[in-house]
Structure 1
């Protein structure tokens, strides 16, 4: 492995890394290129999102819960990730041999931290051979094995991005599942002072509902929900799930709320069902505020859900502090999770902690990941 170089100002060694993310929305691969020292230096260098074709997305959905043709899907998933790496390098005009490491998340198909189990499919050795680059994989396993939640993993990267803001913020990722990183604005506070947890559903429930009812991948800009009415009694029933009373750190399997949600939308018109599930996602985020050590001064929204105007409006109405899309801060709100896995891969190479007691409930700050070389 060759390091990319030394930062001219700080003198710290920096690495060039690619992060690959296929999240709980299962809509495609996000690939991001960054340069970082694994601490406070982060330079974003490129991003590419590659949607999954419908037939592969269906195959991916078929192995959720660790069933079906897992090896076949894992092989195809890995080949698609290798192609995403090549496409990103070509798009940005970056030489392959200038990359130090790939952070490969894989696809979560089962997450049961209470049983010390989490399963991300993918073939890191195959990805290393196909790309000719070192790959860090299994970034959740060590945390779960030590009694942590294994999620969310991105808070330490959120801290790197927000450390210059000088205010207490809540960084909200709206993927299939929502997760929040509460980051103390006190500049002396280290990563051990972060709090992070899954808030509840974000896009997954409404995406699945719209696909089942309308054959669409998602409710574009919340248009279907905007035409509907929220049934407050049904919403209250959704919010009565015991998960919301469980103190953080805590995490969720993608399908945790599926049965309850199916009962809630039964008999509702499409518009009302979409409105209800969107409101559920927003209300779940608002409930997260009660766990913060002290109030956030600002919420920063990342992920695909920030494009849903109805969801963002519902969040603004329910939260006690303003919420802004990450893009208003100069970030690429679609790229943050993939960037985070590049950053985590660098920290894994360095043996630095990825997770902390306040982010995953792991007993002590803990590194993680397994390194797979192309030879």
Structure 2
């Protein structure tokens, strides 16, 4: 089937879109890919929903702003896709299925015997009605309800993408978004995957808090800063790094408070080192060392992050483009692929990727008639 995948990351940068022709197992063709920057209005309501989610007690009604944000996110997806499809001489009639990840405003991992919580906003039913196309959505909830981490979900697609490129294991795919996560394809047994630590998220928040822009463009601030080694060691002493995989993070799990006394450039350099060193420590927990690490996500655009990774990792480190992958579109492609797997009732998460008790189907599909089909 021809599937349009959407992804909006915690960086609140853009709606990413990609078309795949796939049956949820093999990839027959890669269609067009693109993005549309989020409007300030949508970014504002998503930030309000994220703040509300952080203060949302369990067992209480969801914050009212969630519904407002869900509607705004769905409309942003629709408008982005209308222009995207037109640019590539496609219409909604050419699309068999939509995969919409939605906007994450809350992600809490299981702790002390309590299941986690995860919330991705986006009005899938409205999107199905507007487009006339079934929408697969809510990919994480079933995994979390079963006691899993609910993340990362892209590993099964990373495997399919590597196979489509005729790569040989052992290789790793490192996605650096707001949070960084790794998938190891060892060639034997199950995939291994987990969040290694912060990605771009803390650096973005730092730059924004200092009134210096939305992100550290090309690593300009970090490139002239000095790493505070004592503070770096303190950051790496967080108990998350001692926990065995699989494990997952929210971009707000680490505080910027310890960096308050550092000037912007030194704080940015220290956070770059934090991201890279957390990856190195995560790789030490892998049973098999990869020969190659393919880096995708926005972090690969930061030369300082790439430099730090190459200094710390023993494996060959390459960007997605160096192996002919579309580095800005991997996650949108992944949710197109996961949508196809949801439609075919195939597992999308696994014990060694999310800690789920068994391979989990997950996901739901809403049709243009408004009828929701539960999966898993």
Q: Name the TM-score, length of structure 2 as normaliser.
A: 0.91
Q: Which residue of 2 aligns with 1:171?
A: 173
Structure 2: distance between partners of 1:40 and 1:340? 12
Correspondence for 1:283: 277
- Tell me how far apart the structure 1 counterparts of residues 366 and 160 of structure 2 sit (CA, whole Å): 26
Quote the offset at 1:98 in angstroms.
2.0
1:158-307 map, 5 Å: 158-163=158-163, 164-184=166-186, 186=187, 189=188, 193-258=190-255, 261-263=256-258, 265-307=259-301
C-alpha distance after superposition, 1:114-154 (max 9, x if no partner): 13321111111011111111000101111111111100000
Q: Are 1:69 and 2:65 an aligned pair?
A: yes
Please say if 1:364 is aligned against 2:358: yes
Q: How many residues align?
A: 353
Q: Answer whether contact 2:101 2:138 (CA < 8 A) is retained.
A: yes
Residues 158-208 of structure 1: per-residue CA shift (max 9 Å, x gap) = 000112211211100010000100111x3xx4xx51000001110000001
Which residue is equivalent to 1:142? Answer: 142
Q: In the aligned structure 2, how far is the partner of 1:68 from the partner of 1:266?
A: 33
Contact 2:3 2:95 in 1 (8 A): yes
Shift of 1:16: 0.4
> For the Cα contact (< 8 Å) 1:30–1:338, is it kept in 2?
yes
**Separation in 1 of the partners of 2:364 and 2:306?**
37
Do the aligned residues in 2 keep the contact of 1:62 with 1:68 (CA within 8 Å)?
A: no
Give 2:374's aligned residue.
none
Match of 1:130 in 2: 130
Distance in 1 between residues matched to 2:29 and 2:240, nearest whole Å: 37
TM-score (normalised: structure 1)? 0.92
Divergent runs of 4+, >3 A: none
CA contact (8 A) 2:20 2:27 kept: no
Q: Is the contact between residue 113 and residue 147 of structure 1 (CA under 8 Å) also seen in structure 2?
A: no
Instruction: Give unmatched runs, 5+ long, in structure 2.
Output: 54-62, 370-376
Q: How does 1:114-125 map to 2 (within 5 A)?
A: 114=110, 115-125=115-125
Structure 2 Cα separation of the partners of residues 157 and 42 of structure 1: 13
Structure 1 residue 94 corresponds to structure 2 residue 90:
yes
Taking the aligned partners of 1:352 and 1:45, their CA distance within structure 2 comes to: 22
1:4 aligns with none
- Structure 1 gap segments, 5+ residues each: 1-14
2:152 and 2:294 mapped to 1: Cα distance? 16
Deviates more, 1:313-322 or 1:85-94: 85-94
Q: Residue in 2 aligned with 1:111?
A: 107
- Corresponding residue for 2:325? 331
In structure 2, what is the equivalent of residue 24 of structure 1? Answer: 10
Equivalent residue in structure 2 for 1:36, among 22, 26, 45: 22
Q: Is the 8 A contact 1:33 1:45 kept in 2?
A: yes
Equivalent residue, structure 1, for 2:367 = 373
Which structure 2 residues correspond to residues 309-328 of structure 1 after superposition, within 5 A? 309-328=303-322
Deviation (angstroms), 1:42? 4.2
Distance, in Å, in 2 between the alignment partners of 1:199 and 1:372 is: 33
Instruction: Specify whether residues 214 and 227 from structure 1 end up closer, same or farther in structure 2 by C-alpha distance, changes over 3 A only.
Output: farther
**Deviation by residue 1:268-312 (Cα, 9 ceiling, x = unmatched):** 111111111111111111111111111010100001110000010
